[in-house]
Amino acid sequence: MIETIDLARCTGCGICDLVCPADVIHMEDQPSRDGLAGMREQRMLPAIRFREHCITCFSCEIFCPEKIVDVHPVVRNRPRAW
C-alpha cells in the first residue's frame, strides 16, 4: 500500500497520477512559497486521496522519475472482482 510521497523533492510531473490504476493519487493545486514581488506561486502536487483503494501494484513507485514514492509491500487491500 502506498505510504508516503516526499513532496519536498517532487517536480509535479504527474506521472504517479497517470499510472495509478486505482485512482489513488490526485494532482492538486498546492500554494507554494511567495514568488517575486509578493506574487503567489501555484503548482500542482500529488495527494494521496484514496489510500484504501491502493492495490499495491508499485506503478507509482517504479515510474516516479525522482524515486520519492514509498509503497509498502504488504497488500492490505485486494483488487475488487470487477
Residues in contact with ligand SF4 by the rule CB under 6 A: 2, 5, 10-16, 19-22, 24-25, 46, 54-60, 64-66, 68-69, 71
* Residue with Cβ nearer ligand SF4 (38 or 65): 65
The CB-of-36 to ligand SF4 minimum distance in angstroms stands at 24
Is-contact 24 2, C-beta < 8 A?
yes
Nearest-angstrom CA–CA distance, 55 and 38 = 42
Is-contact 5 61, C-beta < 8 A?
no
Joined grid coordinates for residue 45: 502536487
The CB-of-46 to ligand SF4 minimum distance in angstroms stands at 5
